[in-house]
Amino acid sequence: MLKLGVNIDHVATIREARYHGKPAGEPDPIEAALICEGAGAHGITVHLREDRRHIQDRDAAKLREAIKTRLNLEMASAPEIVAIALKLKPDIVCLVPERRQELTTEGGLDVAGQKTALTETRKSMNGAGIEVSLFIDPEAQQVEASAAVGAQFIELHTGAFAERFHDEAGRRLEIARLVTASRQAHQLGLKVNAGHGLNYRNVPALSAVPHLVELNIGHSIVSRAIVVGLGQAVREMLQLLQRFP
C-alpha cells in the first residue's frame, strides 16, 4: 500500500503566529503528530528550517521521543542542521533547497550542481544509520545525479503538477514527467516518494505514477482538519491512497 507521511509544519506555523519566541504554545505539533499516528499515518514529516519559522528544535527532539512511526526530517544541507540531525537521528532526512524569502519550498534541489557537498552529507547521515532522500524536480539529470550521490530515496517535487492540475493538457504533461522520472529512479535503484501541493482533489491522478513508496502531504490535511478534525482528515487521505494499485 502507498504510504502517507503527514507534514505537521503548518500546525507549528499556527502556533508561532501567537507564541513565537515562547517556550510553549498551542496548537502543539507533538499532540498533532500523535493524532496523525492514531489515525493511521505511516510517518511524520517536519522541516527544521534554518530560520526556525515554524518547527523548533524542541519540537524535533520531542517528536523523536514521542512518535512510534517513521520520522522524516526535511532539512537544508547546512552544517548547523546537519549536526542537529546527526544528534537527533531521524529515520530519514530529506535534503531540500532553502531560501529565506520563500513561503515554502519552491523547487527541487540542484543535485547535479552540488554532487560533492551532497555526497558528503549523505555519507554522514548513512554513517549514523539515517536514510537519505533528495527532493528533486522530475528531471533526468537530477535523478541520475541523485543515484550518483548515493541517496536511498528521491522525493519528486509535485509542485508543477499541482499548479497545472486544472489544465488537462498541463496535467497530462506533468504526470508524464513524473512517470518518466519515477521509472528512471527505479531502474537506478532509488526508492521514490513524492510531495508538494498535493491535496484531496489531485492525489488520485498520481495513481498513474509507478513505484511510489510514500506521499508527504501537509497543508491540505491541516486545512481539512479545521473542518473535520485532524484524525478524520488523515483517514480521508488514507482512503484515497487505498485506491492506488
Please check whether residue 210 is in contact with residue 191, taking contact to mean a CB–CB distance below 8 angstroms.
no
- Catalytic annotation, pick one of 37, 74, 131, 174: 74
219 is catalytic: no
131 is catalytic: no
174 is catalytic: no
Here the contacts of 141-146 (C-beta below 8 Å, separation 24 or greater) are: 141/112, 142/108, 142/109, 142/110, 142/111, 142/112, 143/181, 143/184, 143/185, 143/188, 143/190, 144/112, 144/184, 144/188, 145/111, 145/112, 145/115, 146/111, 146/185, 146/188, 146/190
Question: Which residues are registered as beta bridge partners of 93?
Answer: 73, 132
- Catalytic annotation, pick one of 10, 37, 42, 47: 47
Q: Which residues of 17-42 are buried (b: 16+ CB within 10 A; e: fewer)?
A: eeeeeeeeeebbbbebbbbbbebbbb
Active centre residues (catalytic): 47, 74, 196
